[in-house]
Amino acid sequence: MSSENVEPFDAVDVIRAKRDGAAVPEDALRWMVDAYTRGYVADAQMASFAMAVLLNGMQRNEIRVLTDAMIASGERMSFAGLGKRTVDKHSTGGVGDKITLPLAPLVASFGVAVPQLSGRGLGHTGGTLDKLESIPGWRAALTNDELFAQLRDIGAVICAAGSGLAPADKKLYALRDVTGTVEAIPLIASSIMSKKIAEGTDALVLDVKFGGGAFMRDVDKARELARTMVALGTDSGVATTALLTDMNTPLGLAIGNANEVRESVEVLAGGGPADIVELTVALAREMLALAGQPDADVEAALRDGRAMDTWRAMIRAQDGDPDAALPEPRETHTVTASSSGVLTRLDALPFGIAAWRLGAGRARAQDPVLHAAGIDLHVKPGDTVIEGQPLFTLLADDDKRFTRAFDALEDAWEIGDTAPPARPLVLERITA
């Protein structure tokens, strides 16, 4: 047997080191990721390693090496030839989180390039591409040449990430999903940041959500994730900041796909729900500050139509019709208030699950989504309601879906006598 076929490390040794709480040496960790991507390290071994990481954590340098090894498994993009600064945003996902849609054109209207490589929804958190695909003709798949041309000419692109970015992450992500290791902070952080760093952006703003409808329910865990990702970006030469934002209540009044596009267009027209506007403006300010424009008048660009012009150009460039009618549901069902008072609670997670069951999301990666399905909210916590007033409307293409959606919504809202205490939408700003 020739010596070139001998592997320099053994997966069992790497697993044992992490099982016993030790730091894995850099060259062994790089080998582990590469050998798993090549198929030499088996799924069972990588699953065992992922569980050891979940239970024992990783040091900052280990997470940096893990992330770097995942980047090295695929291609790296570069926007160096664009002639303008690039800044991206990533959200850890939530219910009604359509912020990317108004945010990308808003920031691009200041002459900054926003390469927003986005994904599809799985489970109760919606996918940006699914939302945009409710616009007739719009396409998510762009070649690298189309991506560059659109960034150069318009400034904003929201499209599907190519399969060449961090293939190790794609393989490990699928494994984590079926082995109960999704919640491991080092694995979440390296998964998100390997793709973002490989994308080649100059700067990155993270929207890290906490609360009932978020991936990280616990605010301390969300803060730890944010700090870990900001450190990874900084260590890799990407200017990175994070906002810690509340996801206990759905964002805005629309949960779904087509209805979230409608709401995004309202924001670009200078209107829209206050919370969507607040978060869009806060993230835009962060992005523009990292791009060297700390004094940009973000609200003015929403008022004077600049952001809307960029949106329309962005949609047209990807073969979408910004004036086309969006899909409408065949069936609707409105739930009204059973008593008068104040809406004290409206829980994000059950409403996200209900929208998913109505057809707005998918249970398996290959499932289609129904673009007209979802939920329109008519009130938010703190609003006064009178008996018989509409609270929310379920939207579906088939009324048989309403029963399971209602099952998810049992005890998901509450009407009381006194308004709940006001909670800040943006809790904290995290920097390097």
Q: Check if the beta carbon of residue 242 is closer than 8 Å to that of residue 429.
A: yes
Q: Check if the beta carbon of residue 141 is closer than 8 Å to that of residue 132.
A: no
Catalytic hit among 68, 88, 97, 169: 169
Q: Check if the beta carbon of residue 371 is closer than 8 Å to that of residue 126.
A: no
> Is 171 marked active-site?
no
Angle at 259 between CA 204 and CA 306, to 5 degrees: 55
Catalytic hit among 18, 85, 131, 176: 176
Residues 6+ apart with CB under 8 A from 330: 372, 396, 397, 398
Report how far residue 65's alpha carbon sits from residue 384's, in angstroms, rounded to the nearest whole number.
52
Report how far residue 174's alpha carbon sits from residue 306's, in angstroms, rounded to the nearest whole number.
40
> Is 90 marked active-site?
yes
Single-letter residue type at 17: A
Burial class (CB in 10 A: 0-12, 13-18, 19+), 16: middle
Q: Which two tokens stand for residue 8?
A: 């320099």
> Is 304 marked active-site?
no
Catalytic hit among 195, 209, 223, 401: 195
Catalytic hit among 91, 118, 190, 191: 191
> Is 191 marked active-site?
yes
Helices 258-268 & 274-290, crossing angle to 10 degrees?
70
Percentage helix, strand, coil for the chain under 3-state DSSP, each rounded to 5: 45, 15, 40
Q: Report how far apart, in Å, the C-alpha atoms of 211 and of each of 60, 221, 223, 369, 374 are.
A: 25, 10, 12, 26, 21
Burial class (CB in 10 A: 0-12, 13-18, 19+), 311: buried
**Cα torsion 262, 267, 273, 278: sign:** positive
Q: Which two tokens stand for residue 22?
A: 């030790």
> For tokens 């991506």, what's the residue?
147
> Is 195 marked active-site?
yes
Catalytic hit among 90, 131, 357, 362: 90
The phi and psi torsions of 231 (rounded to 5 degrees) equal -65, -40
Please compute, for residue 407, the number of CA atoms within 13 A of its CA located in the half-sphere on the CB side.
8
Residue 115 pairs in a beta bridge with: 157
Active site residues: 90, 169, 176, 191, 195
